[in-house]
Amino acid sequence: MEKVQDKFLRYVGVWTTSDPDSTTAPSTARQFDLLNLLAKELKEMGIKVKVTAKGVLMATIPSNLPKPSKAKTLDKKASAGKTSAAPVIGFIAHVDTAPDAEGKDIKPQIIPNYNGKDIILNKAKKVKLSTAVFPELKTFKGQTLITTDGTTLLGADDKAGVAEIMCAAEYMVEHPEFKHGTIKISFTPDEEIGRGVENFSVKDFGADFAYTMDGGAVGELEFENFNAASAKIEIQGCNIHPGYAKGKMINAIIVANEILSMLPPKERPEHTSKYQGFYHVVGISGSVENASVSIIIRDHDTKIFNARKKLFDTIQSRMDKKYGKGVVKITVKDQYYNMRKVVEPKYYIVERAISAMKKAGIKPKIQPIRGGTDGAMLSFRGLPCPNIFAGGLNFHGKLEYVSVESMEKATQVILNIAQAQ
């Protein structure tokens, strides 16, 4: 079998950055470069695969279990939601990388037998991974790390997950003694811009439940995530010569600043953790005449989430009263919801992952996702889909890295989940 490290290095060499401003699906044609490569490799393994025109890859590894007789078919209640001797299990990862940082011409650096000290990523640009800033680095002492060269992101989010699924698929095909039910695989585009499963057919996928391999450190297991919304603020100013502006000018930049000052200053990402939600200003542009602000709204608790959205109704009313209607226009849109509501009633899915981790010698760390995954949206569409670690850390930037041993552990967890019980 090819090692997960080799697969990962091959996949990060393919430029797959998504584009939030694109209206196509997928948002960038370059994502097909990796999707088609993966389809080719799966076909060479003898696995049936299809890539849709919208950039969704789906593949099936048939069950190698003997077909149960009618007399031996498991009772639905006794099998905790299964309708046959083995459920159909899916594994999902996304091929795109985040547009937050450069994702082209990635030059990964391999650090075998890491010594537990600071890592110089780029001496010329003075970029380093510091153990003072990232103390968790020390836990990887003796392992093989893959880092960036300090100029791009790495792409472990989520090409680590892609490589792990591909390694597990290869193992199942090459080891017929490894018994499993029907396994479904999907690689999706545009997860990083929130459009990863817009064209994903749960019916065509055909799994009873699935797991996204899109988490961080070893042991992470997540089945609850933020409720998410976006707020788009458009400001129409009035530009008058500054020498004659008194009582007439409306400076859109100043209005934007005034609106931002109305958001609770301690409820920003840099001041929150665990279950605490936030408002995050992700974009601002403008001039005296026009300005726009983009904000994302996040909270695990539905009531608090709704209250956060209502704050923008209050801001709108205040701006209308002060400047008149039409100067400020605020549009709030829901993006995704906390999947705990639909996964928790089928907790045996989480328990299966817990058991798989323990079997691999891993202590599960169940925690909320301070973000969202494709699995959140899929869960609400009838495919319960918790999230499992893929091993990468410091996603979306030039300080991203992954441990080869972590990817190997994730591959083993996939196999443990897939193995017939």
Q: Please say which residue of 298, 317, 336 terminates a domain.
A: 336
Domain co-membership, 304 together with 396 = no
Same domain? 160 vs 249: no
- Predicted local distance difference test score (pLDDT) of residue 370: 87
Looking at residue 75, its pLDDT comes to 43
Radius of gyration of the chain (CA): 24
Q: Identify whether residues 126 and 54 lie together within a single domain.
A: yes
How big is the CA angle at 5 (ends 2 and 10), to the nearest 5 degrees? Answer: 85
* Residues 153 and 238 placed together within one structural domain of the fold: no
The reply to whether 160 and 260 lie within a common domain is no
3-class DSSP assignment, residue 208: coil
Q: What is the pLDDT, as a whole number, of residue 42?
A: 98
Closest CA to 228 of 277, 298, 276: 298
Last residue of a domain, one of 269, 301, 336: 336
141 and 19 belong to one structural domain: yes
Whole-number Å distance between alpha carbons of 189 and 169: 20
Same domain, 42 and 157: yes
pLDDT at 70: 54
In a shared domain, residues 236 and 206: no
| pLDDT score for 83 | 42
CATH number at residue 55: 3.40.630.10
Domain around 281: 227-336
191 is catalytic: yes
Q: Are residues 398 and 314 in the same domain?
A: no
Same domain? For 394 and 355 the reply is yes
pLDDT at 409: 98
Tens digits of residue pLDDT in 185-208: 999 999 999 898 999 999 999 999
Catalytic residue, chosen from 41, 157, 191, 267, is 191
Instruction: Exactly one of 96, 158, 224, 374 is catalytic; name it.
Output: 96
Domain count, the chain: 2
Taking alpha carbons only, the member of 145, 168, 121, 92 closest to residue 405 is: 145
- Helix axis angle for 348-359 and 404-418, nearest 10°, is 130
CA angle 108, 110, 113 (to 5 degrees): 160
* Torsion (CA) 415, 416, 419, 421 in degrees, nearest 10: -170
Looking at the fold, whether 238 and 300 belong to one and the same domain comes out as yes
Per-residue pLDDT of the chain (421 residues; tens, 9 = 90+): 799 999 999 999 999 999 998 999 999 999 999 999 999 999 999 999 999 999 999 999 999 999 865 544 444 444 444 444 799 999 999 999 999 899 999 999 999 999 999 999 999 999 999 999 999 999 999 999 999 999 999 999 999 999 999 999 999 999 999 999 999 999 999 999 989 899 999 999 999 999 999 999 999 999 999 999 999 999 999 999 999 999 999 999 999 999 999 999 999 999 999 999 999 999 999 999 999 999 999 999 999 999 999 999 999 999 999 999 999 999 999 988 999 999 999 999 999 999 999 999 999 999 998 877 789 899 999 999 999 999 999 999 999 999 999 999 999 999 999 998 8
292, 310, 336 - which closes a domain: 336
249 & 371 share domain: no
96 is annotated as an active-site residue: yes
pLDDT for res 69 = 59
Burial of 318 (0-12, 13-18, 19+ CB in 10 A): middle
CATH of residue 248's domain is 3.30.70.360
